[in-house]
Copies of this chain bind each other. A is one copy, B any other.
Amino acid sequence: MRQASVQSVSNVDRIYQAVKEMAIGFRFKPGERLNEVELSKRLGASRTPLREALNRLGAEGFITFEGGKGFFCREFGPREIYELYQLRSVLEEAAVRLVCELASDAELDELDRFLVETGPDDGGRSNEALVALDEHFHETLMDLTRNAEMRRILRNVNARIKFFRWIDMERRRGETQDEHRMILAALRERNADLCAERMRRHIERRLDQITGAIKEGYSRIYLSGR
């Protein structure tokens, strides 16, 4: 074996993370077959652990699998994006209603602190950083539901739409955080209907912007190097 186990970060996990990030960032072209030999060489491992990672990623929807053919980069059209955003909306609207009832004032304080510390945007942040902050807000909110399953699904969905969030963030840097503050304000009022409405609109607006962005700039996505 290559190296002494560096505790808790197994080889498959490393490969899994690496390929996951490639899939998230669309370093593979949609529909492209993933060559196992080449990939495993590039990642410094044999095909066995690579295939285990690919099987996990397939089960999680990051890549697809066809028996006898192998693994492929997922195809992504407006339909798939819409479905994932709809799922997000359903989950987060329900989450915010639950959090309205469940969260302690202290937990909301902490969320508030996060928004204050990380905003408003002074223009000095990278898109990656802004996307990470956006994800962090939504995932922290979901954590407050205390429902591990819902958390797991939201994280999965967020990873799969990350690229499109990134595209969106390039154009609308400011709005996101304002809307987050409005959602928190509704949470403070413990007004479930208002929370849900604001969350729904928040996600809906993002989707509208992204479908727009996709239409005009889809080609840019797959340029060389990225």
Contacts and interface: CB of A to CB of B under 8 A. Distances in A.
Interface stretch (A50-58, A129-137, A169-177): A50-58
A148 interface: yes
A13 B65 CA distance: 11
Interface string A27-56: 000000000000000000000100111011
A48 B50 CA distance: 12
Consensus secondary structure, chain A interface = helix
Interface string A155-179: 0010000000000000000000000
A84 B147 CA distance: 9
A86 interface: yes
A77 B78 CA distance: 39
Interface string A1-23: 00001001010110000000000
A46 to B, nearest CB: 12
Nearest to A79: B148
A204 B79 CA distance: 32
A87 B8 contact: no
Given A52-B52, A55-B52, A153 B150 contact: no
Nearest to A152: B61
A122 interface: no
A94 interface: yes
Nearest to A13: B67
A86 B5 contact: no
A84 B52 contact: no
A116 interface: no
Given A8-B67, A153-B153, A148 B83 contact: yes
A52 B12 CA distance: 12
A86 B150 contact: yes
Contacts of A91: 90
A123 interface: no
Contact of A58 (B10, B56, B68, B80): B56
**Considering the complex of A and B, which 6 residue pairs feature the smallest CB-CB distances, nearest first?**
A59-B59, A90-B94, A10-B67, A56-B59, A55-B55, A83-B149
